[in-house]
Amino acid sequence: MKIEKISNSQIRCILTGEDLASRQLRLSELAYGTEKARALFRDMMEQAAIQCGFDAENYPLMIEAIPLGADSIVLIVTKVDNPEELDTRFSNFAPSVKKDALPQKVQQSQLSQLLNALKENSAGQQGKTPDEIMKEKRDYLLTSRLYSFESISDVIRAAKLLSGAYEGESSLYRDEKTQVLYLLLKMRGADEVGSMQSALAALSEYGQPEKISPARQQYVVTHCSPILAQNALETLSKL
Tens-digit pLDDT profile for residues 109-130 = 343 444 444 444 444 555 666 6
- Domains defined along the chain, listed by start: 2-126 (no CATH), 140-237 (3.30.70.1950)
Radius of gyration of the chain (CA): 18
Torsion of CA 75, 76, 77, 81, to 10 degrees: -150
Which has more confidence, 88 or 48? 48
Q: What is the pTM of this model?
A: 0.51
pLDDT per residue as tens digits for the range 157-173: 989 988 777 888 999 99
d(CA 21, CA 99) in angstroms, rounded, equals 23
The pLDDT value recorded for residue 49 is 85
pLDDT per residue as tens digits for the range 19-32: 888 888 877 677 66
| 8 Å CB contact between 209 and 185 | no
